[in-house]
């Protein structure tokens, strides 16, 4: 039985919520769980910047692991604060589900970079079969190792400096 348009809308919202609520400082594996739960084995993911799509859930996992594993380490060990938010937007086509995304990365000393993009998804029953990312933009300079507290020294110094 085919999932209704309304059912797919709620499924898309559930996927967005799962992504936004996942805590990268706790675990990166939860993102792989989300991919396994919501994306088809033969999903096709592409963007305005790519000439060739990434085909297959395992290939998508391999690509995103290059981003989320370092983010996890920097958040868990280096004091990086990571916030992901989305806003649902109206699609031009009834079988597409669109969102605007904001990723905020805040270093241990408060310097921030914000990355925004838009996504379009198509579903087949209960799994994403196509995802397109576009309109990528960045506000702020990329964070560096100086923005992280990899040795815990910053936390210790701030704790000593606080009045009792």
Torsion of CA 40, 30, 116, 91, to 10 degrees: 40
Report pLDDT for 7: 76
HSE-up of 6 (CA within 13 Å, CB side)? 0
HSE-up of 142 (CA within 13 Å, CB side)? 2
Contact criterion met (CB below 8 Å) for 79 and 146:
no
CA 5-58-84 angle, to 5 degrees, is: 60
Whichever domain contains 50, its CATH number is: 3.10.450.50
Report pLDDT for 129: 97
- Domain count for the chain, please give it: 1
Report pLDDT for 155: 57
Q: What is the pLDDT along the chain (164 residues), one digit of tens a residue?
A: 566 767 788 999 999 999 999 999 999 999 999 999 999 999 999 998 888 999 999 999 999 999 999 999 889 888 899 999 999 998 778 788 999 999 999 998 899 999 999 999 999 988 999 999 999 999 999 998 889 887 765 556 556 666 65
Containing structural domain, residue 151 = 5-161
Q: What sign does the dihedral 14-28-83-158 (CA atoms) show?
A: positive
Its pTM stands at: 0.85
């Amino acid at each position: 039985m085919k999932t209704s348009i309304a059912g797919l809308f709620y499924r898309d919202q559930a996927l967005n919520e799962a992504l936004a609520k996942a805590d990268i400082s706790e675990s990166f594996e939860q993102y792989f769980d989300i991919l396994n739960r919501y994306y088809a084995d033969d999903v096709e993911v592409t963007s305005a910047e790519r000439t060739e799509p990434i085909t297959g859930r395992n290939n998508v996992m391999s690509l995103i692991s290059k981003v989320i594993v370092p983010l996890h380490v920097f958040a868990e060990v280096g004091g990086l604060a990571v916030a992901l938010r989305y806003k649902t937007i109206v699609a031009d086509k009834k079988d597409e589900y669109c969102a605007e995304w904001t990723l905020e990365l805040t270093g241990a000393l408060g310097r921030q970079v914000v990355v925004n993009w838009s996504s379009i998804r198509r579903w087949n029953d209960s799994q994403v079969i196509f995802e397109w990312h576009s309109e990528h933009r960045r506000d702020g300079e990329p964070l560096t190792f100086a923005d992280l507290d990899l040795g815990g020294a910053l936390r210790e110094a701030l704790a000593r400096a606080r009045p009792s």
